[in-house]
Amino acid sequence: MSDISHRGDFDLAAELFLDQLRAGKRPSISEYIRRFPDLSDEILDLFPALVAMEKLKQDQSGSTVPHSPRESAPAGAGVPERLGDYRITRVIGAGGMGVVYEARRESLQAPVALKVLHHGGRGDRNYRRRFQNEARSAARLHHSNIVPVFDFGEHDGVLYYVMQYIPGQALDAVLDHVRRVRGGLPATPGEVATTLIAESGEASEPAPARPDSTHPGSLASADQPTYHREVARIGAEVAWAIAYAHDRGVLHRDLKPSNLLVDDRGNPWITDFGLAKYEGGDDLTATGDIVGTVRYMAPERFEGRSDAQCDIYALGMTLYEMLALRPAYEGRSRHELIRRILESAPTPLRKVDPRISRDLETVVHKAIARSPSDRYATATELAEELRRVAENRPIRSRRIPPHEQLWRWCRRNPLIAGLATSAAAMTLLIAILSTVAFFWIKRANNEIRENLRRAEIAEHQRSERLWDARLAQARAVRFGRRSGQRFDALAAIAEAARIGRELGHPPERFNLLRNEAIAALALPDIQITTEFGRWTDDVASVDLDENFQLYATSDVRGGGIVRRVADDVEIIRLPDSPDQRRLAFGPGRWLADHHSPGTRHLTIWDIGGPTPIARIDVRRPVLSWDFRPDGRLVTLLHQDGSLATHDLRSGKLRVQLPPRTIPTEPILRKHPTAPFVAITSYFSKGFEIRQVETGETLSGEIPWPDGRTYPGDWSADGRQLAIPVPSAVKAAIYEFAERPPTLKLLRTVDLLDSTSTIAFNKEGDRLFGRGWGAVTFMQDANTGRNLFATKAFNFPLVSWDARVLRTDRGRTRLFPGMVNDKGRRFAYWSVAEGRECRLIVHSAPRQIRRWSSLSPDDRLGLGVSTGQVALVDLATGREVGSLPLKDPMPGLYAGFDQSGHLYTQSKEGCYRWPISSSPDAPDVVEIGPPLRLPLDPDYNIAATSRDGRIVAQSAWRPGAVGPESGALLMNLDRHKTPRQLARGVSLGNTTVSPDRRWVAFEGQPGSILVYEVETEEKVWEATSQIGRCLFTPDGKWLATGTDNGRLYAAGTWKPGPQLGPGYLACFSSDGELAVLSGGAGPFRLVEVATGRELARFEDPDQDVEQVSMSADKATLLTTHKKGLLVWDLRRIRAELARMGLDWDAPALAPAPPVVPVRSVRFLGAESIGR
């Protein structure tokens, strides 16, 4: 701080000096000499005596503080008892710039610390600005270790600012106390004077303190390690506070023990920012001025430089003094002290006190390094290092050897270290004991290991045997053709897969399970999967809801209960009825309660809440009823033949049709979407369909003379109605159209057993039935072919009518069923339709044995039988068209090419048929008119390029030469007649590359011949064990039967991957997959790039020859003696994925919506052969 003006005589100087001394401070004599240079001689002579006298007075009185505020305040200071809202209580400190009072804020009755500018400096403008600078610097900072400034003001010319009152002591007072407690003698007046003369700069100012603080005493009495950790902790907190101030552009510039306050909890507080400098503020020192206390000033300060490194140095010097209990530098004069600071280094701390840790010594000496570059770069770094010292953690300023790190860890974690030591001792004891019993323990361990090894081997062998057993079980069940052939086989395969994963089986074992699963998925099945409740002699009726989660039973006494299928818990109990009743569920929450026989009254209960509500209660006799599937309407057939439709939500009558004559015991079936009902009766030879709103009626005739109808079923889309006729053991299937209402007999199918009830599946291409012979069966609704049948115990009770077969909402479960006659438990069937592998039966009696093909848009499948080409719609599985043709000598052939044409080769000739949709009906496909090609129908099957413009045909005439052998090649864009190739050579199978560059033939004997289309020259020849060659769709490879299905690169004809054994049937459209068949047995799906088998497909009838693949790789079409087999790879892979057996290939895209083909029209068919 700059020198202040000479403002008084020796009395004023002495009064100020005594104020500080009585406040417990150690005022600097040299500072007073500097402030009052004219009085230097008097100050040097008399001030030491004043110190000795005050010391003697305190020893006699036993007190170190003034007894009253007025006594402690300097008489000439001119400070009133009140300053604004603050009432002064007592003096608690004094400094070079002012006096600190304890005061009380009257408005809040709260203690504060009040610093007041010295009377001598109030008229000095520079002095006043310094005082304001001190207040502003501290007020900018809000930190838990910096004394906060609340207010600044002036009262009657007296400047003051207000601080938080902190109970505690200044650090220099704490150090004096520590020195005395640790055995140091009180300083003599001469020593005090010498020490004070050696100091210079601004006199120390204590922060507000209370002399009765107990912390210094506890600190002084602490053991040495604890004291050192407390020093590190206090230093770390001060360093963090200084770092906070530096971050906000404030330098303290006078850190020393007297400017650090330690409160009664041991927390340090920084005070006295009288020398502070901050960014944006006025620097009240001239360039080169030296401000601060010399003992704590960094060497560069004497050159007039001041930065954050100087505050780090000052804090380091303070820590040094706290540890050594003496200043780092001693000097009898100011000049001697400055010389030592500039020329020598402090004594190492561990030489002063060897008990100081090496880390703490390292940190302090790094902080007080003479060169700023050797000190910590920031106060934060110093704080972090001190925190590590306080926590007994390694510091970064010194490399810690491993043994010392271990010792530090033990000190930080004494409990764990103790436990570890105990554990080590126990381990040693165990080692000694184990040495004594070594041989016995070793033998016992060997026996245990051997037994464990044998047990593991036995468990592994047991698991392997169980895996084999599950695989054998799956195969046996699958070939048994009984109920459970699919469900039980898949369950056994899933169990084998789980075992295989536990045993870590290689991929080949899982491939076996995958192939077995595919074979099981190709099978339809009907099996009882759930049992519930129990039938007793007093049960009158039982029914399941549409989700098969609830079941309702009534008894002969008129009771009615609804229970849960899963656990048989009672859900609803209906009020008792005096009549016997039958209960039947409707959609959703509706339950029909029919009082029959007797009154035939009907109540519709709403069971969606905790208690049933009678929504509709009809007191007229009701013979039959049915709900609309959406649960909004119910239609009743009354005894007088009238129809009444009620709104279920409101309970109101919506439509009432007049009475009319009806047959005995009629059964009503409501159309799923339109306002129509079908009415059948066993006592009638026909049936009728009535419009429930207008009464319009359609009569249905049964095509059998003695036919009597039982309740039929509508398909889910309402376009078909199936009526069973038990006497004929047949079913009639009608096509129904709503606008205008029409009814047309589509077909009749033979049923497996005489039955009173049948039901459609969801797609409308399967019929479920339950026969009088206790047979539950599933048949193809298009052909009547039996898909599966199983015999179980006949159930004396079904739902609300004894002639109804109940299906769930998804039409994948059937009710009723009974497990056995003894157990008398209710049960329902689960149905697997085997849609993963559908057989589309050819309507003609001829067998489809030769060819199969898929249209480019994957809507149509084609099969060739003797004298006929059959086309089927893959979406519905129905045959939609056929073309009769005469077989030539090699056999009839037809197939789709990639250009969207149908190619036929028959006795009538070789034709190319364009394919298009009918302009007036998108569900009708038109094929034709045909274009005749100048090819020989008695040659082998022709092959075309992708665009259909290159056509090649070979002749297979063993031993023949001349025009009867060789091949024909035709470019439809250039040739009017075919070109002759390989004259005199018998050729078989033919293929054309998609890019039209190459044509390849199977030669005789056992060879492959390749010709260039443009030059018609042979470019390559190779031997072939299997006479099949085919270009991949991308034209990169020519696949052959050579060398285990070797591929050859087109153009270079270099050998490539192998596809493995089998007859090459087809490629996928992208050329990534190939299908190889093995004659009539299973066929393989192979990855072209690697030759790896992905899956094997086994027809349940072992009757596969030709295979085609759809463009999206989701469908495989194979020939079958009865028609075409359609393999749905989407469904198959979804089921395999569920079992964790799918092959590693990208998932197939969802099936796009398609318009089913209703029919195919051949245009110009009458012109072929002419």
Enzyme catalytic residues: 254
DSSP SS3 for 232: helix
1091-to-174, 1072, 1079 alpha-carbon distances in Å: 89, 10, 19
Say if residues 298 and 310 touch (Cβ distance below 8 Å).
Answer: yes
CA 654 to chain centre: 51
Q: Is 729 exposed, middle or buried (0-12, 13-18, 19+ CB in 10 A)?
A: middle
Say if residues 1148 and 1136 touch (Cβ distance below 8 Å).
Answer: no
The closest alpha carbon to 1142, from 511, 520, 524, belongs to 511
Structure tokens at 1156: 């089913």
Non-local (6+) Cβ contacts of 203 within 8 A are 20, 25, 27, 28, 31, 95, 96
Only one residue has tokens 């934060």, namely 380
Say if residues 312 and 299 touch (Cβ distance below 8 Å).
Answer: no
Q: Is 1054 exposed, middle or buried (0-12, 13-18, 19+ CB in 10 A)?
A: exposed
Structure tokens at 69: 């505020």
DSSP-derived secondary structure for 1066-1090: EE-TTSSEEEEE-TTS-EEEEETTT
Say if residues 801 and 543 touch (Cβ distance below 8 Å).
Answer: no
Non-local (6+) Cβ contacts of 919 within 8 A are none
The closest alpha carbon to 160, from 124, 203, 119, belongs to 119
> Distance between CA 1091 and CA 1084 in Å, rounded?
11
> Distance between CA 192 and CA 48 in Å, rounded?
8
The closest alpha carbon to 875, from 493, 1151, 1102, 655, belongs to 1151
DSSP SS3 for 532: strand
Residues 641-658 as b/e (b if ≥16 CB within 10 A, e otherwise) read bbbbbbebeeeeebbebe
- DSSP 8-state code for residue 849: E
> Strand 622-627 and strand 1030-1031: pairing?
unpaired
Residue type, 574: L
> Distance between CA 833 and CA 267 in Å, rounded?
83
Say if residues 362 and 350 touch (Cβ distance below 8 Å).
Answer: no
Say if residues 811 and 761 touch (Cβ distance below 8 Å).
Answer: yes
> Distance between CA 336 and CA 577 in Å, rounded?
120
What Rg do the C-alpha atoms of the chain give, in angstroms? 54
Say if residues 767 and 778 touch (Cβ distance below 8 Å).
Answer: yes
Structure tokens at 541: 């009726």
Non-local (6+) Cβ contacts of 1073 within 8 A are 1067, 1085, 1086, 1087, 1088, 1094, 1109, 1113
Residue type, 522: A
> Strand 1037-1039 and strand 931-933: pairing?
unpaired
Helices 507-521 and 1129-1138: crossing angle in degrees, nearest 10, is 130
> Distance between CA 322 and CA 943 in Å, rounded?
103
